[in-house]
Each structure stands twice: as C-alpha cells, then as structure tokens.
Chain A
Amino acid sequence: MAHGIIGDNVPVRGTTRRVRYLGAAKSGTRDVWLMRLTSVALLLLAIAFIWIVLTLIGKDLAGVRAVFSHPPVAILMLLFILASIVHMKLGMQAIIDDYVHSMHLKEWALIANIFFCIGTGVAAVFAVLKLGGL
C-alpha cells in the first residue's frame, strides 16, 4: 500500500469508499444497535415491571419492602430501570436531533437529557436497593 505524507495509517487512494472506525457520524450505528437491543430487552422487562407494579397496589411500606426483598423482583426491577434509562436517553436524543435546530440550544438539550437520564436512573437504582434491604 502507498503511504502519503499525512501519516502511515492514511491510505492515499480509496478514502471515499472506505469507512474507518465509526464513520462520520461517530456513534450513529452504535446508537441504532443499542436502541434495538434495549427494545428487545424491554419487551420482556416491561411485562415484569407491570406485574411488579400490580403486586405493589394497596400495600403499605412494610409490604412494599417485602416485595423488593425478593431477589428476582429487585433484579428484574433493576434490569428494567437500566434498559429504560439507555432506551429513553437515545429516544430523547433522536427527538432533540430532529426538532431542535439551533446548535447552541441543541447542545444544552443533549446535556440536559444525559443529566436527566443518569439522575433518574441512579435515584431509582438506589431506592430499589434500599427497599430490598441492601
């Protein structure tokens, strides 16, 4: 292979038909893949979530703690929270990318989105662990 003056790793020919690493969008394909992955996970986890919520109805605090002290319940709830956080971060990111046209506002919106998702996620995970008696 011919080497140019730019550097050893940059081929002189074929740059337009060869996409290296993640391409111009940097993280686009990874986001699409993660969205599909979390969608499939949530098809199962949302059913578990609805089931858990139904068992919580009408319970006092001791009853709620008792529900979350079962490892399968706490684990499924934690998995639901984790998958939801990734899914909603990507979903809101797509909405911001589509509808917020000012670059300045868009960047702040993307930052706020990440803060919101991590904040709600950590709060929910902490609460479930504490309710489970950990």
Chain B
Amino acid sequence: MNEIIEKRRPLSPHLSIYRPMLTMVMSIAHRMTGGALYVGTLLLVWYLVAAASGEGAFAAVSWFMGSILGQLILLGFTFALLHHFFGGVRHFIWDMGYGFGHPMREWLAWGTLICSATFTVVIFAAAHFLK
C-alpha cells in the first residue's frame, strides 16, 4: 500500500514538458553552475594542500593550472563562479520582493548573463596580465 502511495506522489521537477524560456534556462544554469563549483572546490583544495605540502606538489599543481586543460577548467570555474554570483544577486533581489514582473525578470536574466560573461573576460585578462 505504501509503495502505491509512494509512486503516486507528485515529483518535482517536470522539466521536459515545458518550452524552454530564458528565466527557466537561467534557473537550471544556476543549479548547474552550483554543481560545477561543488566539484571545482577539489581544484582549490588541491592547490592549497599542494602548496602546504611542499615544493614538489606545488610544482605539479602549478604545471597543471598552466596547461591548456588546466586553463580551460579555470576558465569554466571562473564563469561558473561569476554566473552563480550574479545569479545569487538576482535571487537576493527576488528574496527582497522585487523583480518578479514581466520586463524586470527578463532584464535580470540578461543582466546575469552579460555581467558574468563580461567579468569572466575581465578577470581572465587581468590574470594573464599579472602572469
């Protein structure tokens, strides 16, 4: 009996039955960037623990971060961090009770995208300038 009830329970979310819209895609992207950052912490921990371990481990992590694969991962990490950051600002505005209306929520979604893309380029440019 319990199993029948379990199977009848409505399960969220029903992503596949909706036509994709910007706000919805941005909501999914917020989750995906969050998940990516979760895995990305391993990169930060690797760097910090390697540096704390000594010269050999630090040289290895420095080599990886400088390699093409490492740079691509860092680019993705930077974009995920900024996307989640500006997405967080958007959620904060919503939590305050603003920005639910039609033009405003679209602007907030575009603002998140434009800000995260722009700052990714700025930060990566700054990183290569500092290298």
Tell me the A residues contacting B by CB distance below 8 Å. 36, 39-40, 42-43, 46, 50, 54, 57-58, 61, 64-65, 84, 88, 91-92, 95, 98, 101, 120, 123-124, 126-128, 130-131
- Chain B residues, Cβ within 8 Å of A58: 130-131
B81 within 8 A of A: yes
CA distance A131 to B54 in the complex (A): 10
Give, as a whole number of angstroms, the nearest-CB distance from A133 to chain B: 11
Could you say which residues of chain B place their CB within 8 Å of the CB of A101?
11
Please state if A92 and B35 are interface contacts (CB–CB under 8 Å): yes
Closest-by-CB residue of B relative to A103 is B6
Q: How far is the CA of A61 from the CA of B61 in the complex (A)?
A: 11
B126 touches A98 (CB 8 A): no
State how many angstroms separate the Cβ of A116 from the closest Cβ of chain B.
Answer: 8
Chain B residues at the A interface, C-beta cutoff of 8 Å: 11-13, 31, 34-35, 37-38, 41-42, 44-45, 48-49, 51-52, 54-55, 58, 81, 85, 88-89, 91-92, 95, 123, 126-127, 130-131
Which of chain B's residues have a CB closer than 8 A to the CB of A123? 45, 48-49
A39 touches B123 (CB 8 A): no
Query: Provided the pairs A123-B49, A126-B52, A127-B52 are in contact, do residues A88 and B126 lie with their beta carbons within 8 angstroms?
Result: no
| CB-based closest 7 A-B pairs | A127-B48, A127-B52, A130-B52, A57-B130, A127-B49, A58-B131, A61-B58
